[in-house]
Chains A and B, each alone.
Chain A
Amino acid sequence: MIVLAYMLAAAMCLGALGLVAFIWSLRSGQFDDPAGAAARILEDHDPAP
């Protein structure tokens, strides 16, 4: 049964990690301009400072 306890802890940690990562990406503006991000990746010059 102890294996269940490990699984439990791992599941909760992974879930929490996913949630934190998602909220971070949301806060840091990664979803603000999906179209622009897709276009900018093709620019071959360095971004302006």
Chain B
Amino acid sequence: MMSATTASGCPSGLSPGAEADIAQDPAAFVTYSRGRRALDILIRGASCGGCLSKIEGAVRQLPGVETARLNLSTGRMRVEWTGHLAPGLIMSAITRLGYGAAAVGEAAADDGTAKTERRLLIAMVVAAIATVNIMVVSEPLWFATDVSPETRTLLHWVSALFAIPATAYSGRPFFESALASVRARRLNMDVPISLAVILAILISVYETARGGQYAYFDASVMLLFFLLIGRFLDARLRRRAYAAANALAALQTATTTRLGPAGRAEAVRASDVQQGDILLIAAGERLAVDAEVITGASDIDLRMVTGEVVPVTAYAGQIIHAGAVNLTAPVRVRALAPASRSLAADVARLLEAGEQKKSAYRRLADRAAEAYIPQVHLAAAATFIGWLAAGASLSQAAFTAITVLIITCPCAIALAAPMVQVAAAGRLFRHGAYLSSGDALERIAGVNHVVFDKTGTLTLGDPGLVGVYAPELIGRAALLARASRHPFSRAIAEAAGPGPVADGVSEHPGEGVSGRIDGRMARLGSAQFCGQAALPGGVLWFVMEGSDPVAFRFEDRLRPDTRRTIDRLRKMGLTVELLSGDSEERVARTAAEAGIGTWSAAASPVAKAERLAALERSGLRVLMVGDGLNDAAALAGAHASLAPGGAVDVSRLASDCVYAGDSLASVALIVRLARIARRRMRENFAFAAVYNILAIPVAVVGWATPVVAAAAMSLSSAVVVLNALRLSVMKLEEAAS
């Protein structure tokens, strides 16, 4: 849940982060049943027992609150109360303590994955209990030399008593998947697993019934147990990553104010907005849907939509896309589409095409399964025919052939990729990076060219003051700047630090701020507003009666570790490119600062996607890193893609991996881990292949007794698992953020 950057120390007492600026009315998330209201809140920054009791204590003190319970593992808190407590008070009680809080819908979205995880867990425990009991019974069969045939048969039946129900229950995830894959006329790894387990049980029952020496009850249940460990860990990690990525999303989700027919304002979730609704967008609020401006004058921040750093001035009739942030004054807008369809049609089409392309990727494990299955089944068939030809009885030949299937059973192969996947995803999780799909790691490992978006990805997204100004000058300008949400004003306020606001300040949308400083008229704003000459680039004029006018210059600053990250990527053999929707001049400067030689500017969303397609046609496998709406199509179409946690919803969904925190170093870390993970997978497959090459002859000539099978299977699985776990413990000194 914690990202790497927030994990150190509890934030109690600190001021909330910048994300808290995005307006959100929790009233839209409150549920009501039988006299009680309830609200689910996602808490950011809570990490210890102290945080827990402080937060719960503060909320319980509010009037009418009956329960307040924070789940420290998931960061979710549920508050239930009666009476007329305003939900905003709950949120502010938490944020006052220094924690981030965002209202979320009730926890229902991930029910499917939670159910799968629980089912796998119970299947695993059933297999474990059966394995232990069969082991106890099998021990004399393996090692005692004086077991009478009657006792042996009795012990076999006892094993069967455990093995048959356990296999029937715990094997179901494999049997169902195998059946589905055969129906689709394909072979996956579950087919040979199911075949081996079922045949092992059948031949064992047959052998036991006729008093035979060997039975494979132990091997079949143990096999299921090992495989279920891998499956369960995989499912658990996937759900946790999904929940963590959702938590990042919840911090971004906005609510909005809908104006009813009588002009009555009500808070609604952004996802509930319908086409044609009239919305009141407050200053600081992020637009959740595509909309047309009806009335109001304000500055609109389009960073997330087009990548442009300098805000534009809104006018009636203007169409604004979802993701834009209203800066200066409230505006009324008419929703043009619900949130789910707030995307330019061509971008939506490109997104779909990209997803189709990605689903066509064939995983390493699937390719291994396709190579492995015919080889082993041919070996088994050859054994059967060979023993018959050599004069063995039908049952003897069948028994040996099935032994081949069991001993080569794809335990090591089936665990080879998933265990690496689990170890690598767990490692990334600890670093605040959340994988969204199973094959994401493999695709990220295969890239050789990285395309970065500029605004918000390479840069911080917020412009900063450049140049040297006298501290008292900045202090005076800040008296006006603190009253505005315009990014330039905020940069001045940030440079000056906390302080007062001048008297009589008023903000003029699209122009600037005016007020009185020490009794003198002062203005901070555009050249026209201040009566000065227009200058190129990001400039804010500051004029005051009796002083010389000053021009403040602003630049979108690089993230502090951008240069280092780019160098590291180059050292890893990757080529780097910058692709931005911002103006040519600004992109050129950022490229020079970041040390990137290849760049293009003023690229539309479609142009970005086309550029990526062209790169892929030239034989490159591209990793796209971007956060804005204009990157979504490119993210979906790239061979692999990453998005920072602050990205817009569409981009986050279109990417393979989301990373939290302000550091770009995560990009290098993710690529590096993915490559190491791929190497581990290949090592595991190589080991499994060698194991099979050694095991098949032993089984073919009939030397594989149950104890040999059990030992070989556990040993090979252990080797593969331990090799995968190296990923969890290895040092990542220079790549760590």
* Least CB distance, B94 to chain A, in whole angstroms: 16
Q: Are A19 and B72 in contact (CB under 8 A)?
A: no
Q: Are B154 and A36 in contact (CB under 8 A)?
A: no
- Nearest B residue to A36 via CB reads B72
Q: Are B122 and A33 in contact (CB under 8 A)?
A: no
Q: Are A36 and B52 in contact (CB under 8 A)?
A: yes
* Least CB distance, B732 to chain A, in whole angstroms: 24
* Least CB distance, A38 to chain B, in whole angstroms: 8
* Least CB distance, B460 to chain A, in whole angstroms: 32
- Nearest A residue to B157 via CB reads A8
Does B700 sit within 8 A of A, measured CB to CB? no
Q: Are A33 and B74 in contact (CB under 8 A)?
A: yes
Alpha-carbon distance between A43 and B53 when the two chains are bound, in angstroms: 8
Does B125 sit within 8 A of A, measured CB to CB? yes
Number of interface residues of B (CB under 8 A): 29
Q: Are A33 and B158 in contact (CB under 8 A)?
A: no
Alpha-carbon distance between A4 and B159 when the two chains are bound, in angstroms: 13
* Least CB distance, B36 to chain A, in whole angstroms: 15
Q: Are B49 and A26 in contact (CB under 8 A)?
A: no
Q: Are B72 and A35 in contact (CB under 8 A)?
A: yes
Provided the pairs A33-B73, A34-B73, A35-B72 are in contact, do residues A42 and B49 lie with their beta carbons within 8 angstroms? yes
Does B445 sit within 8 A of A, measured CB to CB? no
Q: Are B129 and A32 in contact (CB under 8 A)?
A: no
Q: Are B74 and A26 in contact (CB under 8 A)?
A: no
Interface centre among B67, B72, B133, B154 (most CB of A within 10 A): B72
Collect the chain B residues with CB atoms within 8 Å of residue A19's CB.
125-126, 129
Docked complex: B468-511 residues within 8 A CB-CB of A: none
Provided the pairs A11-B133, A26-B121, A48-B67 are in contact, do residues A40 and B73 lie with their beta carbons within 8 angstroms? no
Provided the pairs A4-B154, A26-B121, A43-B49 are in contact, do residues A36 and B73 lie with their beta carbons within 8 angstroms? yes
Does B71 sit within 8 A of A, measured CB to CB? yes
Does B130 sit within 8 A of A, measured CB to CB? yes
Does B283 sit within 8 A of A, measured CB to CB? no
- Contact digits for B127-140, partner A, Cβ 8 Å, 1 yes 0 no: 00110110011000
Collect the chain B residues with CB atoms within 8 Å of residue A32's CB.
71, 73
Q: Are B71 and A36 in contact (CB under 8 A)?
A: yes
Alpha-carbon distance between A23 and B53 when the two chains are bound, in angstroms: 30
Alpha-carbon distance between A42 and B331 when the two chains are bound, in angstroms: 50
Collect the chain A residues with CB atoms within 8 Å of residue B151's CB.
1, 4
Docked complex: B102-130 residues within 8 A CB-CB of A: 118, 121-122, 125-126, 129-130
- Nearest A residue to B53 via CB reads A43
* Least CB distance, A45 to chain B, in whole angstroms: 8
Does B60 sit within 8 A of A, measured CB to CB? yes
Does B70 sit within 8 A of A, measured CB to CB? yes
* Least CB distance, A17 to chain B, in whole angstroms: 10
- Contact digits for A21-49, partner B, Cβ 8 Å, 1 yes 0 no: 01100100000111110111011000010
Q: Are B118 and A11 in contact (CB under 8 A)?
A: no
Q: Are B71 and A8 in contact (CB under 8 A)?
A: no
Q: Are A33 and B154 in contact (CB under 8 A)?
A: no
* Least CB distance, A21 to chain B, in whole angstroms: 10
Q: Are A33 and B71 in contact (CB under 8 A)?
A: yes
Does B48 sit within 8 A of A, measured CB to CB? yes
* Least CB distance, A8 to chain B, in whole angstroms: 6
* Least CB distance, A47 to chain B, in whole angstroms: 10
Q: Are A8 and B125 in contact (CB under 8 A)?
A: no
- Which listed residue, B122, B126, B161, B162, touches A26 by the CB 8 Å rule? B122
Collect the chain A residues with CB atoms within 8 Å of residue B126's CB.
19
Collect the chain B residues with CB atoms within 8 Å of residue A15's CB.
129-130, 132-133, 162
Interface centre among B125, B129, B130 (most CB of A within 10 A): B129
Collect the chain B residues with CB atoms within 8 Å of residue A11's CB.
133, 136-137
Collect the chain A residues with CB atoms within 8 Å of residue B129's CB.
15, 18-19
- Nearest B residue to A19 via CB reads B129
Alpha-carbon distance between A35 and B126 when the two chains are bound, in angstroms: 26
Q: Are A40 and B49 in contact (CB under 8 A)?
A: yes
Collect the chain A residues with CB atoms within 8 Å of residue B137's CB.
11
Collect the chain B residues with CB atoms within 8 Å of residue A8's CB.
158
Alpha-carbon distance between A26 and B122 when the two chains are bound, in angstroms: 9
- Which listed residue, B52, B74, B125, touches A40 by the CB 8 Å rule? B52
Q: Are A48 and B60 in contact (CB under 8 A)?
A: yes
Alpha-carbon distance between A41 and B161 when the two chains are bound, in angstroms: 42
- Nearest B residue to A32 via CB reads B71
Alpha-carbon distance between A35 and B129 when the two chains are bound, in angstroms: 27
Collect the chain A residues with CB atoms within 8 Å of residue B133's CB.
11-12, 15
Q: Which residues of B contact A (CB under 8 A)?
A: 48-49, 52-53, 56, 60, 67-68, 70-74, 118, 121-122, 125-126, 129-130, 132-133, 136-137, 151, 154, 158, 161-162
Q: Which residues of A contact B (CB under 8 A)?
A: 1, 4, 8, 11-12, 15, 18-19, 22-23, 26, 32-36, 38-40, 42-43, 48
Q: What are 21 A-B residue pairs whose CB atoms fall within 8 Å in the complex?
A: A1-B154, A11-B133, A11-B137, A12-B133, A15-B129, A15-B130, A15-B132, A15-B133, A18-B129, A23-B122, A26-B118, A33-B72, A34-B73, A35-B72, A36-B73, A38-B49, A39-B48, A39-B49, A42-B49, A43-B49, A48-B67
Query: Which 6 pairs across A and B sit closest by C-beta, in order of nearness?
Result: A39-B49, A36-B72, A35-B72, A33-B71, A35-B73, A33-B73
| 11 other A-B residue contacts (CB within 8 Å) besides A4-B154, A26-B118, A48-B67 | A1-B154, A12-B133, A12-B161, A19-B126, A33-B74, A34-B73, A36-B72, A39-B72, A40-B49, A40-B52, A48-B56
